[in-house]
Structure 1
Amino acid sequence: MRLARWRHGETVAEGLVLDGRVVAFPDGRTMREVLEAGLADALARYRDVTRHDTAPELTEVRLLAPLRPPSIRDFVAFEEHVEGVTASIDGASQVVPEWYEYPTFYFTNPHSVIATGDIVAPPATERLDFELEVGAVIGGVQRSDGTNLTPAAAAEHIFGYVIFNDWSARDVQGREMKVRLGPCKGKDFATTLGPWIVTADEFAQLIDGEGFLPIGMQVEVNGTEIGRDLLSNMGWPFPELVAYASRNSRVVPGDVLGSGTAGNGGCLAELWGRRGELSPPPLSQGDEVVMRVEGIGEIRNRVGGAVPVPDIPRARQRPRNRARETVEVR
């Protein structure tokens, strides 16, 4: 099944994509309620819903981001990506031993999620980049609070998948990571999720014995292919990423976990690092980025102009006093 959100005229609706049309959930549920009830419940309720000839066609609506995530964790699970992008940011290609021990992630901004078709408004940057990823969407499971999951239990929490584009301002990212934090402002201006959620049962027959999902991923800029990879080239399959995220913590319905950037041209920074030059060039205003993932569909966005922002002053050197001066009050 494909679950989506869309705008039709002045109306925002949530429901199913069926044979080129969009059909609102027949029981009036919201996307959040569907995710909280879980995949098994959704399949039982909606698997046999049929298309209504009076329902709008996809071409008549504007797709919105398919969900509003409570949180977004983005992993870095492709070894090949790490090899290339470290050379671009740090000047030397390396995969540190710690990368192999556990899957690493950072939290990105759930309030900056955009949809396929939206214009990207980047910060002031000279190195705007995309990142080709797949996101796993968490659903509810009866008698589970999403804490300290085993990989087998974590797999039951995967409701479905979306295409995930982690837009990146590489010069901003590189500056802040020198302070041993981040990425933060280099990435929190936009994340594309879409075009819809495809339920996990659609891929069940493709998952191999170790839990990996070998589906094709591809990205192009202005009609020219930049990268192509298989999702199964991740160092860990999604159930293990979900299990790690839940360790001493919790995953909840609607959370999105990104695979991290695919290798073999899944982002420009990887290619810059391998080639030692900005080739292909950074994205600029007017460029169109299209991502396609087998079994999910495609997302496309065009780059807009940078939005002017207020200046922030540099840090001031402070005297490092340990107590404030006493002022006599009369």
Structure 2
Amino acid sequence: MRFATIRHNGSTVAAVLDGDTVHPFPAGTTVLELVRAGLAAALAAGAQAVSTARPVPVADVTFHAPLQPPTIRDFVTFEEHVEGVRSSVQDQAGVPDAWYAAPHFYFTNPYSVTGPDAQIIPPAESAALDFELEVAAVVGTAGTDLTVEEAAGHIFGYTVLNDWSARDLQKREMQVGLGPAKGKDFANTLGPVLVTANEFADFHDEDGFLTLACTAQVNGVEVGADVLSNMGWSFPALLAYASRNTRIEPGDVLGSGTVGNGGCLAEQWGRRGRQDPPPLQPGDIVTLLVEGIGTLTNTIGTPAAPAPILPAPRRRDHAAERARHLAAVDRA
């Protein structure tokens, strides 16, 4: 089943996408509530909506991000992507040994989630805007310290994720050994729909990896294409790792990481030694297509006015400052 969040007649509500029509749920229903109810209950509620709600043509509604997730973990599971981006962003060759040890991830910003056809406003101080083509799994059942086998049953469904990146800001931040932060958190796009896991029963290889074709276009020109089964770890493995020593909860989003073979511009910059294709500019249209899920399109907007420049960090004689403070404490 394909769940969506739509805007229709002044209201935003969950709906089931069925071909060229959507079937809205009762007012106030959200996709996140359906996810938290569990896959079986959500499928039953969706079937009821299809049978009872008046269908609305897709052309008459606006699609938003299918859900507002409580957390977003973004992994990096494609070896080709790591190799290319490491060259362009970190000025280092190859894939680090640590990548092979575990499926690494970072937490990104759930408050900056946008949806299909949203305008993406890049940071004003960036001149190297990039897209990132990913598929995201949405957690349907809470769990702690899951095995890979257990984790497969905790996946509610899948959607497309565009992890937008200001590469120049990211490059500066990661020199400190932390981040990325402001190079990433300005926009994360999900959509167009959340497709339930049962729809992909025939899209797995012998090792349980999803075999979905993934394609990226800029202004209608294909710039990258890969197959999702080139992930180094499967989605159940990602959920299992994310649950170690903590909890995953319904609605949590886990990104696959950017696909290889041109799933972003920076990978190609690293391989070619130059910014070819060029960074995204206002007016550019980015279209991500994933087999079995759909097409996610966004337009690049004009940056807002630059923020005020931060002051330089205060520099101190650290030892002298400690001595003064301790002396003051002793006198007291």
TM-score (norm 2): 0.93
Deviations 1:228-279 (A, max 9, x none): 0000000000000000000001110000000000000000000000000110
Distance 1:21 1:147 in 2: 38
How far is 1:46 from its partner?
Answer: 2.6
Corresponding residue of 2:215? 218
Distance 1:210 1:26 in 2: 40
Letter aligned with residue 297 of structure 1: G
Secondary structure of the residue aligned to 1:306 is coil
Letter aligned with residue 316 of structure 2: R
Corresponding residue of 2:166? 169
Is 1:95 the equivalent of 2:103?
no
Corresponding residue of 1:84? 84
Corresponding residue of 1:316? 314
How far is 1:319 from its partner?
Answer: 2.6
| Structure 1 residues 290-329: aligned runs within 5 Å | 290-308=287-305, 309-320=307-318, 321-322=321-322, 323-324=324-325, 326=328
Distance 2:26 2:172 in 1: 50
Corresponding residue of 2:149? 152
- The 1:54–1:35 alpha-carbon spacing in structure 2 relative to 1, beyond 3 Å, is closer
Distance 1:310 1:6 in 2: 37
| Structure 1 residues 1-330: aligned runs within 5 Å | 1-25=1-25, 29-47=29-47, 49-50=49-50, 54-123=54-123, 124-140=125-141, 145-308=142-305, 309-320=307-318, 321-322=321-322, 323-324=324-325, 326=328
How far is 1:56 from its partner?
Answer: 2.2
Distance 2:266 2:28 in 1: 44
**Gap runs ≥5 in structure 1:** none
- The 1:231–1:177 alpha-carbon spacing in structure 2 relative to 1, beyond 3 Å, is same
How far is 1:48 from its partner?
Answer: 6.2
Distance 1:182 1:94 in 2: 20
Which deviates further from its counterpart, 313-322 or 276-285? 313-322
Distance 2:275 2:203 in 1: 37
Please tell me whether the aligned partners of residues 72 and 107 of structure 2 are also in contact (alpha carbons under 8 angstroms): yes
Distance 2:280 2:273 in 1: 17
Which deviates further from its counterpart, 83-92 or 161-170? 83-92
Which deviates further from its counterpart, 254-263 or 12-21? 12-21
Distance 2:27 2:171 in 1: 48
Please tell me whether the aligned partners of residues 137 and 255 of structure 1 are also in contact (alpha carbons under 8 angstroms): yes
TM-score (norm 1): 0.94
* % same residue: 53
Distance 2:313 2:298 in 1: 36
Distance 1:236 1:280 in 2: 29
How far is 1:40 from its partner?
Answer: 2.0
Distance 1:172 1:103 in 2: 24
How far is 1:25 from its partner?
Answer: 2.5
- CA-atom RMSD in angstroms: 1.8
Please tell me whether the aligned partners of residues 93 and 273 of structure 1 are also in contact (alpha carbons under 8 angstroms): no
Secondary structure of the residue aligned to 2:43 is helix
Distance 2:48 2:80 in 1: 41
Letter aligned with residue 128 of structure 2: R
How far is 1:149 from its partner?
Answer: 0.6
Deviations 1:171-218 (A, max 9, x none): 000000000001111000000000010011110122122110111000
Please tell me whether the aligned partners of residues 64 and 115 of structure 1 are also in contact (alpha carbons under 8 angstroms): yes
Distance 1:119 1:32 in 2: 23
Which deviates further from its counterpart, 157-166 or 301-310? 301-310
Give the aligned length: 324
Secondary structure of the residue aligned to 1:50 is helix
Letter aligned with residue 279 of structure 1: D
Letter aligned with residue 127 of structure 2: E
How far is 1:318 from its partner?
Answer: 1.8
Which deviates further from its counterpart, 200-209 or 273-282? 200-209
Distance 1:191 1:272 in 2: 22
Secondary structure of the residue aligned to 2:50 is coil
Distance 1:298 1:103 in 2: 27
Please tell me whether the aligned partners of residues 21 and 51 of structure 1 are also in contact (alpha carbons under 8 angstroms): no
Which deviates further from its counterpart, 76-85 or 303-312? 303-312
